[in-house]
């Protein structure tokens, strides 16, 4: 018995060898599915590990709060709050930089270090150099990405503008901190390391520079394991309210962490949405391969049963074959997944500044990937294996009855009659095996759907950039002031060379409340006739900010569960800190954040202030950009300057590599499905119809004409599959929009015809390549042998 089983296993190996072409095709598809799962879960694990190690080792805080100016003494009270483990006060400030090697405005986030030693929270990881000397107030540690971008090293000097005064800063160290993994540039969505750096300096130096002796403007807190975060935040808010607090927030709202989290969420979505498509298709292919194999081996199965093999043994034999077949794909998927994970983490290093991204071997990713692939293979094999088990030995040993074809079928007779014979053969073959044709069609459609459903993201990104930077935020430069200013600051800006027009803004931190719903946020005051900051309604038509009441993004409205015309409680966190009920008078759409707007005059009025401004949008004369860049830095009030052109440039630069690499990956793996499906279907057809095709060759049909009979079917199915796949892809894209949208931004659903066209082209190329492979096998048909034997 054991001897027989061994022989059966040898048969299994030989079957596999014979099926190697198809095995490879299925293997590639499984490898893609498993690979993407491992890539996503592996990268997720790597990010999680990198993040938690970094956060832990460098003591990333749990709660953050900014104030205008609070006395140092109250830190004791903060430490007393229930659940607070430690608290550290700091001075933080954004300043402009005047870089010798760079002719555009750049900004730095200044963060104070304690006067002695290292921070107890949000510590700096020093890559090179040393900590600043207290006695030398000009010394700073500079963030690594910024230093790399400008090729700065210890000993280099940078000019910064502190409160209108030029200061020479000496770089003594290069470092990073868990607070700035994602160093969001001013006015952008992506890190811009050319124009934005973090500078850590001794506190005394910053106290003196910003008149904050004995005071702080930022506090960070770490919590005890059992702390109730919300309670700590509200205690902190109460305690800091008198000092111009604008609302404490947790890690979820900390920009850097929120962006990292959002990337991780996308990985989870990717792992959940994409691999199942591959695994379903692989199951279908395994089903097709085994069904055909069992048809070919019908007589052998009869023989095995006659020898005394049980039905279970026969079924197990074929299931085993499917499992072995899928194992090859799983192993390839492991390798692919590891490689893709490395590639992805490399891409992440463009945006995320971890000291290093740890490559974690995540066993669960491998177990889940392998498990899912094998389960899919077994499901695919089961139906065919059960059919093998159900064969009656005596009947099985007879040849299968001939295939009966019918005229017409789904096509009307008049149409069938118009076709030439080879095309008629194609149509009859499709209608004779409709389920098989449907599976092939589905497989190709899945490929198309996957391509459409992934490539659309680039259209969405384009749409986001287009909407934000060409339709709503159409200023040339956005300036923020260090302090709240009056309108004289505007006229000063107006006098800066190169400035054509100035439009004021007033940003004020608030807390919105609607019953149980509460959100920390801000209201931006703009003019009703604002030209450089525009708002769009649902239909993307420009609307102006309402003269009275709040204009709010639909996202914020939904967070607050409130609608147009309803009234909302707004706690202003600045100035006289009024608490007011304000009606919502307009709802607008924005892809990013959850903003709210008011008419700037109305905002000043309800806050009981005269005309105050915190920044301005500028229109610039492009011919005077050098003059502007020079002059704007001398304005004492200006804390930051963001050029729209720079933001767009960063967007394009950062995304260019990512988009190219991801497009290639998607195109290859998406195309792999179509190629695998078509190759398989054509190979199965070839084994079934080799004799038929050889006789056509003998009759004088050319290689091309015979290939048409076999491959025309696949081409026809591909043509049917592409529109179906396009529709499925639309649904898929909508699913991904849901999966990828986070609190930070909403991914718009945009799918350009050119993207569908590109996806269709990828599918057709893949189908063509698979067809060429099979056509080569047709060339090798042994005409003489085939014709001599009976079917």
Partner 1 sequence: MSQASVLAEAKSSAEILLDTQDLTKVYQTGEVEVHALRGINLTVQIGELIVLLGASGSGKSTLLNIIGGLDTPTSGKVTFLDEDITNLSASALTRYRRAHVGFIFQFYNLVPSLTARENVALVTEISSNPIPPEDALSMVGLADRMHHFPAQLSGGEQQRVAVARAIAKRPNLLLCDEPTGALDSKTGVQVLEALKTVNEELGATTLIITHNVGIADMSDRVIRLSDGMIIEEKQMGRRRQPSELSW
Give the DSSP letter of residue 135: T
Question: How far is the C-alpha of 274 from the C-alpha of 739, rounded, in Å?
Answer: 11
DSSP strand pairing (165-176 vs 139-143): parallel
For residue 424, the minimal CB distance to partner 1 (Å) is: 6
Nearer to partner 1, 420 or 623 (CB): 420
Minimum distance of partner 1 from residue 736's CB (angstroms): 42
Comparing CB distances to partner 1, the nearer of 432 and 567 is: 432
CB of 409 to partner 1, least distance (A): 10
The Cα angle at residue 172 between residues 65 and 165, in degrees rounded to 5 = 65
Please state the closest distance from residue 416 (CB atom) to partner 1, in A.
Answer: 10
- 112 burial type by CB count under 10 A (0-12 exposed, 13-18 middle, 19+ buried): buried
> Closest approach of Cβ 421 to partner 1, in Å?
4
The minimum distance between CB 382 and partner 1, in angstroms, equals 29
Q: In terms of CB distance, is 692 or 752 closer to partner 1?
A: 692
Angle between helices 298-307 and 275-296 (to 10 degrees): 70
| Least distance to partner 1, CB of residue 788, Å | 8
Complex with partner 1: residue 701 or 758, whichever CB lies closer: 701
Residue 104: exposure state from Cβ atoms within 10 A (0-12, 13-18, ≥19)? middle
Q: Return the number of the residue (128 or 705) whose C-beta is nearest partner 1.
A: 705
CB of 435 to partner 1, least distance (A): 17
CB contact set of 22 (below 8 Å; sequence gap of 6+): 285, 289, 679, 680, 683, 684
Q: To the nearest whole angstrom, how small is the minimum distance from the Cβ of residue 697 to partner 1?
A: 7
User: How do the residues of the chain divide into helix, strand and coil, expressed in percent and rounded to 5?
Assistant: 55, 20, 25
Q: Of the two residues 452 and 717, which places its CB atom closer to partner 1 in the complex?
A: 717
* Of residues 76 and 401, the one with the C-beta less far from partner 1: 401
User: At closest approach, how far in Å is the CB of 284 from partner 1?
Assistant: 24
Q: Which is nearer to partner 1, 332 or 706 (CB)?
A: 706
The CB-of-288 to partner 1 minimum distance in angstroms stands at 19
From the CB of 724, what's the least distance to partner 1, in Å? 25
Residue number, 320 or 432, with CB nearest to partner 1: 432
CB 256 within 8 A of CB 179: yes
Cβ distance to partner 1 smaller for residue 387 or 424: 424
Under the rule (CB under 8 A), what is the footprint of partner 1? 402-407, 420-422, 424-425, 428-429, 432, 691-692, 694-703, 705, 783-784, 787-791
Residue closer to partner 1, measured from CB, 74 or 709? 709
Which of these, 515, 522, 525, 594, lies nearest to 562 by C-alpha position? 515
Of residues 52 and 417, the one with the C-beta less far from partner 1: 417
Cα(49)–Cα(42) distance, integer angstroms: 10
Q: Looking at residue 744, what DSSP letter applies? A: S
Phi, psi of 163 (to 5 degrees): 50, 40
Q: How far is the CB of 789 from partner 1 (least distance, A)?
A: 7
- Nearer to partner 1 by Cβ, of 151 and 421: the residue is 421
Using the 8-state DSSP alphabet, how is residue 253 labeled? G
Dihedral over Cα of 468, 469, 475, 480: its sign: positive
Q: Which is nearer to partner 1, 1 or 699 (CB)?
A: 699
Q: What is the DSSP string of 499-561?
A: EEEEEEEEEEEEEEEETTEEEEEEEEEE-TT-SSB-EE-TTS-EEPPPSSSEEEEHHHHHHTT
**Which of residues 214 and 402 has its CB atom nearest to partner 1 in the complex?**
402
CB of 790 to partner 1, least distance (A): 5
Measured between alpha carbons, how far is 80 from 78 in angstroms, rounded to an integer? 5
Number of residues that this document lists for the chain: 791
**C-alpha to C-alpha distance for 353 and 356, rounded to whole angstroms:** 8
CB of 362 to partner 1, least distance (A): 51
Residue 543 CA to its chain's centroid (Å): 31
Selection from 719, 677, 638, 753 nearest residue 280 by Cα: 677
Q: Which is nearer to partner 1, 225 or 700 (CB)?
A: 700
User: How far is Cα 755 from Cα 30, in angstroms, rounded to an integer?
Assistant: 25
Minimum gap (Å) between residue 440 Cβ and partner 1 = 17
Interior angle at CA 190, CA 202 and CA 170, nearest 5: 25
Nearer Cβ to partner 1 (211/420): 420
Least separation in angstroms between CB 21 and partner 1: 23
b/e string for 323-347 if b means 16 or more Cβ within 10 A?
Answer: bbbbbbbbebbbebbbebbbebbeb
The pair of structure tokens assigned to 574 is 């600045």
738 versus 787: smaller Cβ distance to partner 1: 787
Contact 496, 635 (CB under 8 A): yes
Measured from the CB of residue 418, what is the shortest distance to partner 1 in angstroms?
13
Q: Which two tokens stand for residue 642?
A: 């963001």
Rounded Cα–Cα distance for residues 506 and 704 (Å)? 72
Spatial CB neighbours of 9, under 8 Å, sequence gap ≥ 6: none
Name the CA dihedral angle for 102, 107, 111, 117, rounded to a multiple of 10 degrees: 0
- Separation between Cα atoms, residue 727 and residue 741, nearest integer Å: 21
CB-based contacts of 155: which residues, under 8 Å, 6+ apart?
Answer: 170, 171, 172
- Provide CB contacts within 8 A for 753, sequence distance 6+: none
């Amino acid at each position: 018995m054991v001897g027989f089983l061994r022989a059966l296993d040898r048969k299994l190996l030989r079957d596999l060898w014979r099926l190697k072409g198809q095995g490879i095709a299925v293997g590639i598809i499984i490898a893609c599915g498993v690979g993407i799962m491992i890539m996503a879960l592996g990268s997720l694990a790597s990010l999680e590990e990198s993040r938690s190690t970094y956060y832990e080792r460098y003591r990333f805080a749990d709660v953050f709060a900014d104030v205008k100016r609070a006395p140092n003494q109250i830190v004791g009270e903060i430490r007393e709050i229930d659940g607070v483990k430690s608290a550290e006060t700091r001075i933080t400030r954004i300043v402009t930089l005047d870089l010798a090697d760079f002719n555009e405005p750049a900004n730095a986030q200044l963060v104070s270090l304690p006067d002695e030693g290292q921070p107890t929270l949000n510590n700096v990881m020093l890559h090179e150099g040393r900590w600043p000397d207290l006695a030398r107030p000009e010394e700073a540690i500079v963030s690594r990405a910024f230093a790399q971008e400008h090729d700065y090293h210890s000993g280099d000097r940078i000019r910064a503008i502190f409160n209108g005064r030029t200061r020479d800063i000496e770089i003594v160290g290069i470092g990073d901190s868990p607070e700035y993994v994602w160093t969001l540039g001013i006015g952008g969505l992506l890190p811009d390391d050319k124009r934005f750096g973090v500078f850590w300096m001794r506190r005394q130096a910053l106290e003196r520079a910003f008149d904050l002796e004995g005071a702080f403007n930022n506090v960070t807190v770490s919590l005890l394991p059992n702390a109730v975060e919300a309670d700590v935040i509200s205690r902190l808010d109460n305690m800091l309210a008198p000092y111009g607090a604008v609302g404490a927030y947790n890690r979820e709202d900390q920009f850097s962490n929120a962006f990292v989290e959002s990337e991780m969420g996308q990985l989870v979505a990717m792992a959940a949405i994409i691999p199942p498509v591959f695994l379903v298709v692989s199951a279908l292919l395994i089903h097709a391969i085994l069904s055909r194999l069992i048809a070919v081996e019908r007589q052998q199965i009869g023989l095995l049963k006659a020898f005394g093999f049980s039905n279970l043994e026969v079924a197990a034999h074929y299931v085993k074959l499917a499992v072995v077949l899928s194992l090859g794909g799983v192993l390839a998927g492991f390798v692919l997944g590891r490689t893709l994970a490395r590639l992805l983490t490399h891409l992440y290093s463009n945006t995320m500044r971890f000291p290093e991204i740890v490559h974690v071997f995540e066993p669960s990713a491998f177990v889940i990937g392998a498990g899912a692939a094998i389960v899919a293979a077994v499901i695919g094999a089961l139906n065919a294996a059960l059919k093998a088990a159900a064969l009656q030995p005596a009947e099985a040993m007879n040849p299968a009855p001939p295939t009966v074809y019918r005229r017409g079928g789904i096509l009307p007779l008049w149409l069938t009659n118009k076709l030439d014979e080879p095309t008629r053969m194609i149509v009859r073959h499709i209608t004779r095996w409709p389920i098989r044709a449907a599976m092939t069609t589905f497989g190709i459609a899945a490929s198309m759907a996957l391509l459409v459903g992934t490539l659309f993201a680039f259209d969405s990104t384009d749409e986001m950039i287009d909407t934000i930077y060409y339709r709503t935020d159409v200023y040339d430069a956005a300036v923020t002031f260090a302090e709240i200013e009056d309108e004289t600051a505007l006229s000063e800006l107006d006098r800066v060379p190169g400035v054509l027009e100035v439009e004021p803004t007033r940003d004020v931190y608030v807390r919105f409340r609607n019953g149980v719903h509460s959100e920390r946020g801000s209201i931006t005051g703009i003019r009703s006739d604002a030209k450089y900051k525009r708002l769009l309604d649902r239909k993307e038509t420009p609307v102006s900010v309402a003269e009275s009441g709040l204009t709010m993004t639909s996202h914020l409205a939904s967070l607050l569960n409130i609608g147009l015309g309803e009234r909302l409680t707004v706690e202003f966190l600045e100035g006289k800190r009024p608490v007011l009920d304000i009606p919502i008078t307009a709802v607008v759409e924005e892809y990013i954040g959850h903003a709210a707007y008011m008419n700037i005059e109305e905002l000043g009025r309800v806050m009981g202030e005269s005309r105050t401004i915190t920044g301005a949008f500028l229109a610039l004369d492009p011919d005077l950009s050098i003059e502007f860049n020079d002059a704007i830095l001398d304005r004492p009030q200006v804390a930051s300057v963001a050029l729209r052109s720079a933001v767009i440039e960063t967007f394009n630069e950062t995304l260019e590599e990512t988009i190219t690499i991801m497009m290639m990956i998607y195109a290859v793996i998406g195309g792999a499905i179509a190629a695998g499906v078509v190759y398989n279907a054509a190979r199965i057809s070839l084994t079934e119809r080799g004799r038929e095709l050889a006789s056509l060759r003998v009759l004088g049909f050319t290689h091309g004409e015979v290939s048409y009979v076999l491959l025309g079917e696949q081409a026809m199915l591909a043509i049917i599959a592409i529109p179906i796949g396009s529709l499925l892809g639309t649904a898929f894209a909508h699913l991904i929009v849901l999966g990828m949208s986070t609190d930070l931004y909403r991914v718009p659903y945009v799918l350009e015809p050119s993207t569908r066209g590109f996806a269709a082209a990828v599918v057709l190329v893949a189908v063509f390549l698979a067809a060429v492979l099979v056509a080569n096998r047709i060339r090798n048909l042994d005409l003489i042998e085939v014709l001599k034997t009976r079917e």
